[in-house]
Structures are given as C-alpha cells and as structure tokens.
Structure 1
Amino acid sequence: MTIMTGSVARKLNKTMRHFPAGKPGTLPCTETLGVQVATFWMFDGELVVSVSLDPERIPAGLLNEDGTLPLRVEVGGTVIFNGGR
C-alpha cells in the first residue's frame, strides 16, 4: 500500500488527462493511472458518473488489500459514498 502524502497526491494528480468525446458513441472522460471517470446524461434526464478500471495500469500500492480501489464520491461537498481504506 502506498503511503499517501500531499506530495504523492500532487504528483499523481499531475497524471490526470482529459479526453473529449471523439467518434460518435464515445463519451468524454478523465483518466489517471488506469482509472477513467465519465460523466454523462441519460435520455431520461438521469446523470451518470461511471468509473472504469484497468487494473493492470493501477499501481498495486494504490489498491486496497482485496484489490479494490479506495473510492469516495461527493456531491455538493457531501460524501454520498465512502469505500476508502
């Protein structure tokens, strides 16, 4: 497990890239170290936040011992999901 410090977090955050929608049917997303996050609207008006993982690209030290990704979801500053460490 990687010991997360402010400097480590800043270094990891610098790897973040944005991919705009390209070909028809593709969605814009952000990507960092094998984690892609896409946010899009469904035709029924529902907002979807989708997280896709490429485990081979995620450094092992960033995953929980069971291989899951520590994840916290906030909406308007309120934590609605916390599956962290």
Structure 2
Amino acid sequence: MRVLGWMILAGATMLAVVPASAQRYDPRYPVCLQVWEWGGSNYMNCSFTSWGQCQATASGLSAMCLNNPYWSQARQPGRGDHGRGYAY
C-alpha cells in the first residue's frame, strides 16, 4: 500500500512540472511593457527606449511599464579605465 501511495505522489509531481519559458526581455531596450489579457494571461514587450514611449502605448490598456532587468547599458569609462602610459 505504501508503494502505491508513493507512486501516485511521484506521478502527480511529474505531471505538475511545467517547462521553463525562455527569456522574454530584449536586452537592447531599457523599458518593458507588461500587458494583461482576458483570461489571466500576460506578456512582456521590451521594445521601448523611454518611459514616455511605453506609457503612451500602455494608455487605455491593462498594462504597466517596468525597468528591463536585462538591459545591457553601455559601460561608461571611469577614472581608472584609461590604461597605463606604457606598453609591455
């Protein structure tokens, strides 16, 4: 009886596993729009260069603008990045 219980639990666990979804954030743009659709689904649109552009698109929709967590901002050279004055 114990074995049957463990088999049912293992089978239910395997059926409940959901495949992971791919990254939906375009790292070239700093602002994303998250849109909720009828039925509870949602999607991300990361193709905005400014908050104003995103907010204009979100106007009238069930949506909100977010910072893109994968935005690869160009690195600004700092004071220590100028290198040495000599070659090896």
Which bin holds the TM-score, normalised by the shorter protein?
under 0.3
More strand by share: 1
Which structure has more relative contact order (CA 8 Å, sep 6+)? It is 2
More helix by share: 2
- TM-score scaled to structure 2, two decimals? 0.20
- TM-score scaled to structure 1, two decimals? 0.21
Instruction: Name which one, 1 or 2, has greater alpha-carbon Rg.
Output: 2
